[in-house]
């Protein structure tokens, strides 16, 4: 009855016909005398205020029409269509698009909804050291992967004879910002004595894993400095600090810049390996590995090689606990990991071999139980499907090892048995996906006129197609064209320095760690002969017999590209009577085959609470599509949304066997939220 009454009142109020209803009608053609059909009855045209307007033909009663002072009607048979667009889901102005120009901030008709837009057309993406890693913006302002925009702004150098590790900034003036003892046996003053730290490897978080050749120990050090966790629980962060600002950390504990063993909060954990490397005297290989979990989280590991025990151990990077310990394909002298998860092993015990462990399948003792595949020749094709394999090198003995961004394995090498020579230096390049018969390239350096009576020690590859070798002890630094390894250049100004370990920093500079207590830094130019050399860097290091990936760039360049962008969004402010209701994450992305974008969030009322939370996954695109519900994801995780939201966007790509590296493109994303009063 209520509905009928309302309709009847509306029908009367809408009719200016002297109280007498007109003739029944369906359309205006059923009426005469200029009447129009309204509400099923013929009646005079009316204005929007209910009155009539002489000469105005308004058939649908919306106040617009032919001869009407309000203007013409774009559809005089539908009162919802006239001229002005309203936010009602209807195409009011008859242009084929509903609600254009009338939508609210969230792209709908909710007047309470607000949004924060990022990317072109909104707040531009601004990746920097504090909120991004491994990403950049392209010419259109979209967020893309960029392997050179990686925050590898530190280098970790082992002070082998002192028993410590130093952390230096890789941007001038190359200050030492931390120095950490690696065990209780310090200041031994000799190789293979005391703690004897040597191999350092850096993960994608920037933390360093350090292997002690003497002492059979692996240790993790945080890169966070004063923001390290309070590992000893004394209520404050105590760590190595340059108190006087001179760019050098004093190793005199009494000076307060370096802490005694066991008292530095940035030394996250240390683990004796006697249970998995029993009686090991030489931990000679260390490689960090970060593996993506099912929710987009990183699972952190570190592989450790025992040269004397001929074993490899997979260690949990967060706890230090061993996960897998198996026989190595060859006595491990160095490690490097590629994009497919293969752990390549440099070994020079007896004859020369290149070892490989498939870390995707070597997950426990059972899965690693198959016998090591012994290749019959340097090609190694019959061992391609093996979990562990040993591949003969083509007459050369491996030393340093790395993997470049095209998945080629490089070894610094040498030969013996040459008349009149103690050592005969070589380079080696192994390309697993090359055509049969062409996997190996061996470079006879003296035959090219690049001669020195020793070994190519450390070796590192950059992002621009060059490889660098440490020609210890009198050959300087070698710059090698990766696509043409016979094009080798001895960099002037580096000869005469005892170059040992090699690393590349975030800016593409080459760091050579020498045995004469200094680093040599090379800024490469566009061509192989263009190089700017700086000697006398990091002169506080001591007896640095150091190898491996000291900056973390090798891990980033050789493995599947991954980068992130984060932004903190403030919702409804600090008003305790209002709770932010987070709505949707809407995104516009281009996702070529083999690429993905992972979205994760945290929400709380304070930054301290945010920092303590784990990330909550929203979705991975593909297969997910826009929009994504933020509030539902937080509620499903058992979290109460707060007024702060931290959004993380992780861009990833799978490398192919070719040189091409593709990237997803995040053109824009938008976060919506409303601020209803809090109901207690």
Identify the pLDDT of residue 647: 94
Task: Residue 589: give its domain's CATH number.
Answer: 2.60.120.260
Identify the pLDDT of residue 150: 56
Identify the pLDDT of residue 33: 66
Q: Which domain holds residue 125?
A: 114-147+561-674
Residue 532 lies in a domain: yes
CA separation, residue 37 to residues 48, 60, 72, 78 (Å): 15, 8, 18, 12
Separation CA 299–CA 305 (nearest Å): 20
Identify the pLDDT of residue 83: 67
217 sits in which H/E element: strand 217-221
Residues facing residue 407 across a β-bridge: none
Separation CA 260–CA 240 (nearest Å): 10
Q: Are 469 and 346 part of one and the same domain? A: yes
Residue 283 lies in a domain: yes
Residue 621 lies in a domain: yes
Separation CA 474–CA 542 (nearest Å): 19
Identify the pLDDT of residue 94: 79
Identify the pLDDT of residue 455: 92
Low-confidence ranges of the chain (pLDDT < 50): 1-21, 48-50, 657-659
Identify the pLDDT of residue 13: 35
Identify the pLDDT of residue 3: 33
Q: Which residues contact residue 253 at a Cβ distance below 8 angstroms, ignoring those fewer than 6 apart? A: 259, 260
Q: Are 485 and 584 part of one and the same domain? A: no
Q: Are 482 and 619 part of one and the same domain? A: no
Q: Which residues contact residue 607 at a Cβ distance below 8 angstroms, ignoring those fewer than 6 apart? A: 568, 644
Identify the pLDDT of residue 82: 67
Identify the pLDDT of residue 102: 56
Identify the pLDDT of residue 106: 61
Q: Are 439 and 483 part of one and the same domain? A: yes
Residue 406 is given by DSSP the state T
Q: Considering 558, 574, 602, which residue would you say is the last residue of a domain?
A: 558
**What is the DSSP annotation of 245-310?**
-SS-----GGGSSSPPTT--TTEEEEEE-TTTSTT---EEEEEEEEEE-TTSPEEEEEEEEETTTT
Task: Residue 268: give its domain's CATH number.
Answer: 2.120.10.30
Q: What strands lie across the sheet with 484-490, from one edge to the other?
A: 455-461, 466-472, 476-481, 484-490
CB distance 199 to 285 below 8 Å: yes
Q: Considering 533, 558, 583, which residue would you say is the last residue of a domain?
A: 558
Q: Are 29 and 178 part of one and the same domain? A: no
Identify the pLDDT of residue 109: 63
Q: Considering 538, 558, 578, which residue would you say is the last residue of a domain?
A: 558
Q: Are 242 and 143 part of one and the same domain? A: no
pLDDT tens, 144-191?
Answer: 988 655 566 899 999 999 999 999 999 999 999 999 999 999 999 999
Q: Are 493 and 580 part of one and the same domain? A: no
Residue 664 lies in a domain: yes
Determine the Cα angle at 191 with ends 186 and 192, to 5°.
80
* Segments in 118-246 forming alpha helices (H): none
Q: Are 506 and 605 part of one and the same domain? A: no
Separation CA 562–CA 299 (nearest Å): 14
Identify the pLDDT of residue 347: 86
Q: Are 532 and 595 part of one and the same domain? A: no
Q: How many domains does the chain have?
A: 3
Q: Are 318 and 186 part of one and the same domain? A: yes
- Omega within 30 of 0 (cis) for the link into 627: yes
What pairing do the DSSP bridges indicate for beta strands 424-430 and 440-444? antiparallel
Q: Are 604 and 649 part of one and the same domain? A: yes
Q: Nearest 5°: phi and psi at 587?
A: -135, 155
pLDDT tens, 194-236?
Answer: 999 999 999 988 899 999 999 899 999 999 898 898 988 888 9
Residue 207 lies in a domain: yes
- As given in the structure block, the two tokens for residue 308 are 């004397």
Residue 76 lies in a domain: no
Identify the pLDDT of residue 12: 32
Identify the pLDDT of residue 48: 45
């Amino acid at each position: 009855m209520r509905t009928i009454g309302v309709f009847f009142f509306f029908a009367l109020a809408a009719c200016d016909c002297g109280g007498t209803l007109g003739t029944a009608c369906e359309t205006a053609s059923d009426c005469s005398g200029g009447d129009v059909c309204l509400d099923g009855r013929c009646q005079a045209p009316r204005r929007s205020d209910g009155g009539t307007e002489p000469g105005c033909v308004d058939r649908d009663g919306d106040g617009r029409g032919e001869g009407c002072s309000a203007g013409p009607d774009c559809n005089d048979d539908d009162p919802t269509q006239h001229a002005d667009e309203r936010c009602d889901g209807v195409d009011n102005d008859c242009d084929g698009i509903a609600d254009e120009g009338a939508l609210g901030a969230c792209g709908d008709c909710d007047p309470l909804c607000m949004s924060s837009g990022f990317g072109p057309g909104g707040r531009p993406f601004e990746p920097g050291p504090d909120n991004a890693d491994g990403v950049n913006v392209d010419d259109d302002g979209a967020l893309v992967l960029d392997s050179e925009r990686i925050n590898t702004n530190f280098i970790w150098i082992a002070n082998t004879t002192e028993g410590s590790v130093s952390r230096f900034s890789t941007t001038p003036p190359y200050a030492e910002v931390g120095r950490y003892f690696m065990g209780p046996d310090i200041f031994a003053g000799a190789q293979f004595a005391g703690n004897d730290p040597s191999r350092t490897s850096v993960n994608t978080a920037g933390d360093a894993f350090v292997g002690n050749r003497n002492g059979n120990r692996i240790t993790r050090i945080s890169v966070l400095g004063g923001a390290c966790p309070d590992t000893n629980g004394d209520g404050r962060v105590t760590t190595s600090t340059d108190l006087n600002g001179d760019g050098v950390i004093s190793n005199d504990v009494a000076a307060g810049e370096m802490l005694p063993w066991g008292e530095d909060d940035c030394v996250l954990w240390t683990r004796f390996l006697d249970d998995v490397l029993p009686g090991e005297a030489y931990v000679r290989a260390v490689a960090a590995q970060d593996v993506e979990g099912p929710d987009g989280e990183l699972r952190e590991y570190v592989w450790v090689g025992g040269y004397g025990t001929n074993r490899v151990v997979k260690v949990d990077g967060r706890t230090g606990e061993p996960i897998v310990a198996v026989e190595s394909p060859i006595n491990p002298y160095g490690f490097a990991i590629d994009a497919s998860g293969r752990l390549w092993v440099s070994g020079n015990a007896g004859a020369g071999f290149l070892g490989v462990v498939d870390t995707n399948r070597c997950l426990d003792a059972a899965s690693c139980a198959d016998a090591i595949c012994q290749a019959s020749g340097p090609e190694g094709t019959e061992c391609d499907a093996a979990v562990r394999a040993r591949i003969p090198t083509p007459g050369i003995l491996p030393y340093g090892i790395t993997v470049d961004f095209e998945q080629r394995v490089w070894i610094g090498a040498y030969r013996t048995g040459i008349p009149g020579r103690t050592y005969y230096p070589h380079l080696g390049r192994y390309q697993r996906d090359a055509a049969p018969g062409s996997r190996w390239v061996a470079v006879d350096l003296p035959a090219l006129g690049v001669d020195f009576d020793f070994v190519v020690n450390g070796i590192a590859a950059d992002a621009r197609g060059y490889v660098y070798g440490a020609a210890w002890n009198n050959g300087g630094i070698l710059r090698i064209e990766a696509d043409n390894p016979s094009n080798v250049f001895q960099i002037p100004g580096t000869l005469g320095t005892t170059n040992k370990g090699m690393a590349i920093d975030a800016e593409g500079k080459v760091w050579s760690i020498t045995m004469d207590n200094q680093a040599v830094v090379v800024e490469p130019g566009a061509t192989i002969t263009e190089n700017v050399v700086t000697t006398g860097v990091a002169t506080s290091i001591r007896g640095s017999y150091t190898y491996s990936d000291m900056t973390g760039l090798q891990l980033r360049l050789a493995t599947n590209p991954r980068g992130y962008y984060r932004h903190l969004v403030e919702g409804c402010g600090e008003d305790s009577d209002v709770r932010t209701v987070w709505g949707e994450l809407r995104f516009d992305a281009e996702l070529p085959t083999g690429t993905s974008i992972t979205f994760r969030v945290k929400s709380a009322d304070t930054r301290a609470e945010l920092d303590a939370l784990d990330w909550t996954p929203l979705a991975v695109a593909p297969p997910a599509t826009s929009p994504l519900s933020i509030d539902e994801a937080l509620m499903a995780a058992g979290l109460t949304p707060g007024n702060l939201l931290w959004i993380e966007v992780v861009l990833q790509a799978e490398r192919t066997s070719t040189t091409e590296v593709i990237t997803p493109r995040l053109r824009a994303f938008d976060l919506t939220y409303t601020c209803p009063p809090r109901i207690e």
